[in-house]
Structures are given as structure tokens and as C-alpha cells.
Structure 1
């Protein structure tokens, strides 16, 4: 993070990229191979390359949605099915890395510190979380 608190990559330019042109799209399609913590028909989970906690997993839905603010622009039934399934797997995914309690974070937009325009969930655990978080 910079002195201003901005996360590298959380820029207007990155938040205008079509989700299908992001690094996460290449992970999901298999175009770029990454070590996976978990995978099923709805998502992949990988270790964050810049971990903010001892356990920091990114859960990346396979459904291309730019962010929470873009949900109104997608097939809602597919979104609900995918996200419902993913939320039901969060505890299992966290437990694969030894975290039995954790924080979930979804960043949206530049001020929300979203650096990759593809909806994804951060699982942070393995230490005491601070409050307030932001």
C-alpha cells in the first residue's frame, strides 16, 4: 500500500477493464496455470500473492462479474446459484489452510480497493483480525 492507503492496482483504469480481459479470467479458463487451494464447477480458490494474513485465499467465481456493483447486469439466476454454492464452500476452503475463523472481504471499485475487475472473495485468517477493519 502507498502512504495514502491506496492498494496497488486499485485504479480507475483497472476498474474499467472488461472482466473477461483480466488475469482472473485467464486463471479460470486455465490459460494461466496457478496452484489451486480448491476448485469445483463454480469457483477456484488460490493463495493471494500479497497475503495480508497468515491465511489469505482468493475465491474466484467462474462466472464473469466485474464486481458487486455489476450484479444487476448479469443473469441473476446463474449468479445466485454460483454465489450461493460458493458461500456454502467458504468454511471448507478456509479449513483446507487451517483457518477455523476468518474474515471475508469483497472489494468493489477504486475507493473499495478493487485491483482486479472480477468479483472475488478474500478469506483472511490465521490471526486476530482488527476492528474496525477499514
Structure 2
């Protein structure tokens, strides 16, 4: 069984980057995740939505923050200089040291006979 997620408005949001809550999730006033449940409601125009990573859900989860509690976006990694790509060549094939012996089939069973010449199915000795 393959488990998939349905697409929704969170898919368009980048991880760990504050986005205006009114743009991505318009609606009624709400509370900040950092202020607590007894804080007053704030209009979504002054709130920030941040998509966080989740260890069990690759789509992540979104929390709303006021301007006081909004997490800072992670520092960007320094830009790496563009390096010349190495050309990939197929690996050189080594020549076989010993040529492969021709396959011998048992005339009665039609199975391949091992190198000692005795059929593993019927026991008949086959000359090779």
C-alpha cells in the first residue's frame, strides 16, 4: 500500500520562512503560537505563518506568530563557486582472462550441465 498526501495550500509555502498569514491563510483573527492560549486575538494582517518541518510528515506543519514571536529564517548557506563538471566516461571493460566455456545442455532434460559433465537432474554423463 502506498500512502500519499493530498495537495493543499501548505505545499506552496517554503519551510522556515515567515510569510504574511493574510496572504496564505485569510480568515478570522487568531492567536499567536508563542503568546499562549490566554493572549488576545490578532488580525491575520499582522500575523506571520511559518511552515516547520515535522519528523513524521514530510509536508510539515504551519503555525501562526505575532511580530514579537516570529522565528528568524535560517541563515543562507554561502554561495558555492561554480566548478567545472567532470566528464563521466564509462568504465573500461576488462578482458576476460579465461574465455567462457560453451554451455552444454543435457539431451534428455534440457538443463545446463556443470563443468564435470554429469547432469544434475538425471545423472547422465554428457561429453563436453
| TM-score category, normalised to shorter length | under 0.3
TM-score (norm 2): 0.25
Judging by fraction of residues, say which structure has more strand. Answer: 1
TM-score (norm 1): 0.25
Judging by fraction of residues, say which structure has more helix. Answer: 1
